[in-house]
Amino acid sequence: MISAFTFAALVGLSVTPASSHGTPGRRYTSVQGVQFCGRRCGVERWEIKTLSDPEADRVRRTPVLSTVEALGALPRPARTPQLSRISPVEYTTYQIDAYLGGFRHESDGDVHLILFGMKNQRASMIAEIPDPFCSGACASGLSADFAKARAMLDQILAEPNPTDQPIVVRVTGVGFFDRNHRQIGAAPNIIELHPVLTLEQMRPTSPPN
C-alpha cells in the first residue's frame, strides 16, 4: 500500500506543506468601472480545462462512478483539438476513489494531484484543481467550487499523520485528454480529471468504487 508521500519523495516531486499554500488573492482589473476577475493563467486547451468553453453546458454533471484503472484503460483519441471537446469522455463527469500520492503547484496556477488506483497501485493518473482567480475559472462560474476543493486539500494535508498512513480521496471532475508533457504519474492515455469539481477525504478502509 502506498504511503501518503512515498511516491512523491521517490520521484522528487516538490511536496509543499499545507501551511504554506496560502489562499490566492483576488486579482481584478477595471475598465470604466466594470470589474473583471482574473488573469489568463494557461494557454493549451485552457477553456476546456476550466469549463469555460462554449460546449461546457453540454458536460453531464451527474458523476459516473469509475476508477483510476478504468479511466487509464480508455482508448486515447488520435487528436486533442484546441477548441472542441472529445466525446464522450470530455462531456462526462467522473467520480473516483484513489490514493493521493503527491501534489504540486503548477506554473499555470493549477494544483496538480497524482492519484493511484485502489486495486492496482501501479496505475496512476493526474487531476488538476484550477486557480479560482484565473480568468477561465471566473468565466466558468465555478470559482467557489475550485476554491472549496483547494481548501479541502489544505485541510487533508494539515491533519497530523505521524505514521504516514495512506490518504484516500474521492475526486469528482470532468474527463480530459491532455497532450503528452511526460508528467510524472500521468496515465498511459494521458487522461486527467480536469477540472476537479469536488474533493473529499475517505477512510483508508473504504472500498473503491
Span 134-186, pLDDT tens digits:
988 888 999 999 999 999 999 999 999 888 899 999 999 999 999 998 888 99
- To which H or E segment does residue 9 belong? helix 6-11
Three-class SS string for 120-189? CCCCEEEEEECCCCEHHHHHHCCHHHHHHHHHHHHHHHHCCCCCCCCCEEEEEEEEEECCCCCCCCCCCC
**What is the CA angle 69-53-28, rounded to 5?**
110
- To which H or E segment does residue 8 belong? helix 6-11
Residue keyed to cell 486533442: 80
Contacts 24+ apart (CB under 8 A), 119-124: 119/67, 119/69, 119/208, 120/68, 120/69, 121/1, 121/2, 123/68, 123/69, 123/72, 123/187, 124/68, 124/72, 124/185, 124/186, 124/187
Question: Which residues touch 86 (CB under 8 Å, ≥6 apart)?
Answer: 77, 80, 177
Quick: pLDDT tens for 69-126. Answer: 999 999 999 999 999 999 999 999 999 999 999 999 988 889 999 999 999 999 999 9
Rounded to whole angstroms, how far apart are CA atoms 192 and 135? Answer: 21
Higher pLDDT: 7 or 52? It is 52
Number of other residues whose CB lies within 10 A of the CB of residue 72 = 18
* Contact criterion met (CB below 8 Å) for 133 and 27: yes
Cell digits for 138?
A: 471566473
Higher pLDDT: 21 or 159? It is 159
What burial class does residue 81 get, using C-beta atoms within 10 Å of its C-beta: 0-12 exposed, 13-18 middle, 19+ buried?
exposed
Quick: pLDDT tens for 48-60. Answer: 999 999 999 999 9
- Walk me through the domains of the chain, giving residue ranges and CATH numbers: 6-14+41-202 (2.40.50.140)
Average pLDDT over residues 19-35: 37
205 pLDDT band, cuts 50/70/90, is low
